[in-house]
A and B are shown apart, each in its own frame.
Chain A
Amino acid sequence: MTATTEAGTAPATDTLAAVLAPTTRPPRPSAWSASMTFGWRAMLKIKHVPEQLFDVTAFPIMMTLMFTYLFGGALAGSPTEYLQFVLPGIMVTSVVMITMYTGVEVNKDIEKGVFDRFRTLPIWRPSTMVGYLLGDMLRYLMASTVILLVGLVMGFRPQGGVVGAVGAIALLLVFSFAFSWVWTMFGLLMRSEKSVMGVSMLVLMPLTFLSNVYVDPSTMPGWLQAFVNASPISRLVSSVRSLMAGTPDAGEITWVLVSSAVLVVVFGTLTMRLYNRK
């Protein structure tokens, strides 16, 4: 079948008139319902282009293997020892890295005609963006699960058990959802996918490497320690580690939850402002 095959026949005037017959208009969907519908759209996109799941499956596996065996012997005596320390951090790094694709996706989509249609619908305005993030949450969940499973196979044994691991992943998802609003903003702000990627890498590379993911900050020079300890990624990693270890650090967890709320308020507002102006 070619792209130019004319399927079906010309629309018949009487059947057309019949579908135009006045049906009562349903009430407008709730904010929740509209967001879930856009979430369904994100699922359909994954269904049609399953290759895009590569970065939430293959990439995390690679990260886990690479860092464990590369640094394990040198930093902790053996890869298995190191894995206990590094796995929560690898999980955070991988998922936070993946959040940038939200911005890329928004940037690609916004230029398409279908966005004009969404923007002329009488629906809760942020639902389009929330829908993206709902789809992305699934991707984050997949990446986290893949890393955890690979880790378990390699010998990672979280002391917090199932509850600790689930809690850790849940916290990571909450933060990633909030953090993604930074990228929806850049996705609407920047002129091309490439520039969105560029900005994302510029923010994410230092943020994830200059943290407590790979080594204990106490081995770093003082000025770097100050930066690393203040980094939100370090705090997120500490929280996730503490949950996995079965010794939740209430202070750090609260900090992560509060900063997630702040991210949503600030970048959610900026995103919607840009969305309405576009």
Chain B
Amino acid sequence: MPEVAIRTSGLVKVFGDTRAVDGLDLSVPAGAVYGVLGPNGAGKTTAVRMLATLLRPDGGEATVFGHDVVREADAVRSRVSLTGQYASVDEEMTGSENLILLARLLGHRKPAARDRAAQLLEAFGLTEAAGRQVKTYSGGMRRRIDIAASILNTPDLLFLDEPTTGLDPRSRNQVWDIVRVVVAHGTTVLLTTQYLEEADRLAQRIAVIDHGRLIAEGTPGELKSSVGSGSIHVRLRDAATRPEAERVLAEALNTPVYLEADPVALTARVTGAGDEAEQAARALARLASAGIVVDDFSLGQPSLDEVFLALTDRPATTEEAAA
């Protein structure tokens, strides 16, 4: 049986009259990336702050590796590291000073702290920037120094609170690579994100939360299949054949067909219990026999965006204003 890294039951945090976290039950297995997915203001950060001993819960309980986050906060602190939503390093100090300071606070003696800082700067490609104040760093570099600071002592559990928010794609990929290496090394990672793609790429299990409550939980695959179907995307050679293609597909699959903005593209749901591929193949054959030339097609599972929409009755990405 896998060890449980985090367990919460009925966790509650109230700010004024907002129930930021409202009875959250989670069970996070050790040794994997666990994604906590939700729109802005869903309560992700509040939940992480309680688990990292920064906020006292107003109700319910939470344990990290069996230690209560309130009564045994010190035991929890010795096993976790936090990389917050905003850089958790000192902007006025240099990259190197930041790491040495934290290494000292983790108990390394001065020479060992210097060595450890130099090692991490090297591994994170920050050696050249080591002597510069962090406020001169780019977003991607800041995020790297921040994660480096979190693994000075390899933690058993690493909280990454929206680690790629605001990063360019290249820096985002670097962060993903780092997360994969850290997990491969045995650290449990709790990753909060509002990017569905990120959770899908990195997490073995995902909790979807909204308004401080858990609304779905499972592997990315389970979440997708709970929505029930995949879809087929087709690109035609000739836009003029699209009305005919739409009719053929609708008849073959017996589902509505969506006409995309691109005048040669169509998408249709494929419903079925395990034989989606076969149905899709049959539909394509019908297009061919109707004399419609297909340039390209793909069969995909529903995206996590669709999952979120199906679970909350609204898209995940239009929530900014409500936060």
Q: Are A and B a genuine interacting pair, yes or no?
A: yes
Question: Which positions in A face B, CB cutoff 8 Å?
Answer: 1, 3-13, 15-20, 22-23, 25-29, 33-34, 37-38, 40-41, 44-45, 48-49, 112-114, 116-123, 277
Measured in the bound complex, the distance between the Cα atoms of B98 and A48 in whole Å is 13
**Is A3 within 8 A of B136, CB to CB?**
yes
**Is A18 within 8 A of B88, CB to CB?**
no
Q: What are 24 of the A-B contact pairs (CB < 8 Å)? A: A1-B136, A3-B135, A3-B137, A6-B140, A7-B126, A7-B132, A8-B124, A8-B129, A10-B125, A13-B177, A20-B185, A22-B154, A23-B116, A25-B153, A26-B107, A28-B78, A28-B107, A41-B101, A114-B89, A116-B49, A119-B53, A119-B54, A120-B82, A121-B106
Known contacts A4-B138, A45-B92; A11 and B107 CB within 8 A of each other: no
Size class of the contact patch on chain B:
35 or more
| CB neighbours of A26 from chain B (8 A) | 106-109, 112, 153
**Is A17 within 8 A of B184, CB to CB?**
yes
| CB neighbours of A122 from chain B (8 A) | 74, 77-78
**Is B123 within 8 A of A18, CB to CB?**
yes
Measured in the bound complex, the distance between the Cα atoms of B112 and A167 in whole Å is 39
Known contacts A20-B151, A25-B153, A26-B112; A48 and B133 CB within 8 A of each other: yes
Measured in the bound complex, the distance between the Cα atoms of B78 and A18 in whole Å is 22
**Is A10 within 8 A of B177, CB to CB?**
yes
Measured in the bound complex, the distance between the Cα atoms of B90 and A49 in whole Å is 13
B140: nearest chain-A partner, CB-CB: A6
Measured in the bound complex, the distance between the Cα atoms of B134 and A114 in whole Å is 12
With A18-B123, A20-B154, A37-B104 given, name 6 new contacts (CB 8 A): A4-B138, A11-B124, A11-B125, A11-B174, A40-B101, A119-B53
Within 8 A of A (CB), among B100-114: 101-102, 104-109, 112
Measured in the bound complex, the distance between the Cα atoms of B112 and A29 in whole Å is 13
Measured in the bound complex, the distance between the Cα atoms of B127 and A9 in whole Å is 10
Known contacts A13-B177, A121-B105; A6 and B52 CB within 8 A of each other: no
Measured in the bound complex, the distance between the Cα atoms of B139 and A6 in whole Å is 9
* Min distance, Cβ A30 to any Cβ of chain B, angstroms: 9
A41: nearest chain-B partner, CB-CB: B101
B80: nearest chain-A partner, CB-CB: A120
Measured in the bound complex, the distance between the Cα atoms of B127 and A10 in whole Å is 12
| CB neighbours of A33 from chain B (8 A) | 104
**Is A113 within 8 A of B84, CB to CB?**
yes
B98: nearest chain-A partner, CB-CB: A114
B89: nearest chain-A partner, CB-CB: A114
| CB neighbours of B154 from chain A (8 A) | 20, 22-23
Measured in the bound complex, the distance between the Cα atoms of B81 and A120 in whole Å is 7
B87 within 8 A of A: yes
Measured in the bound complex, the distance between the Cα atoms of B93 and A48 in whole Å is 7
Among B74, B109, B132, B177, which residue has its beta carbon within 8 angstroms of that of A11? Answer: B177
**Is A19 within 8 A of B120, CB to CB?**
yes
B178 within 8 A of A: yes
**Is B144 within 8 A of A44, CB to CB?**
no
Known contacts A17-B185, A19-B123; A120 and B77 CB within 8 A of each other: yes
| CB neighbours of B133 from chain A (8 A) | 48
Among A38, A120, A123, which residue has its beta carbon within 8 angstroms of that of B54? Answer: A120
* Min distance, Cβ B280 to any Cβ of chain A, angstroms: 37
Measured in the bound complex, the distance between the Cα atoms of B174 and A6 in whole Å is 13
B180: nearest chain-A partner, CB-CB: A13
Among B91, B104, B128, which residue has its beta carbon within 8 angstroms of that of A7? Answer: B128
| CB neighbours of A112 from chain B (8 A) | 86, 90-91
| CB neighbours of B317 from chain A (8 A) | none
| CB neighbours of B140 from chain A (8 A) | 6
* Min distance, Cβ B202 to any Cβ of chain A, angstroms: 15
B141 within 8 A of A: yes
A36: nearest chain-B partner, CB-CB: B104
B149 within 8 A of A: yes
**Is A20 within 8 A of B104, CB to CB?**
no
Looking at A3, A22, A112, A113, the one whose CB has the most chain B CB atoms below 10 A away is A113
B56 within 8 A of A: yes
**Is A16 within 8 A of B149, CB to CB?**
no
**Is A8 within 8 A of B125, CB to CB?**
yes
B150: nearest chain-A partner, CB-CB: A117
Measured in the bound complex, the distance between the Cα atoms of B74 and A33 in whole Å is 18
| CB neighbours of B153 from chain A (8 A) | 25-26
A19: nearest chain-B partner, CB-CB: B123
Measured in the bound complex, the distance between the Cα atoms of B125 and A44 in whole Å is 24
Measured in the bound complex, the distance between the Cα atoms of B97 and A15 in whole Å is 21
**Is A15 within 8 A of B127, CB to CB?**
no
* Min distance, Cβ A94 to any Cβ of chain B, angstroms: 26
**Is A7 within 8 A of B181, CB to CB?**
no
Within 8 A of A (CB), among B124-171: 124-129, 132-133, 135-138, 140-141, 144, 149, 151, 153-154, 170
Measured in the bound complex, the distance between the Cα atoms of B271 and A90 in whole Å is 85
Looking at A11, A13, A23, A112, the one whose CB has the most chain B CB atoms below 10 A away is A11
Measured in the bound complex, the distance between the Cα atoms of B180 and A7 in whole Å is 22
Measured in the bound complex, the distance between the Cα atoms of B170 and A159 in whole Å is 70
Looking at A17, A33, A37, A38, the one whose CB has the most chain B CB atoms below 10 A away is A37
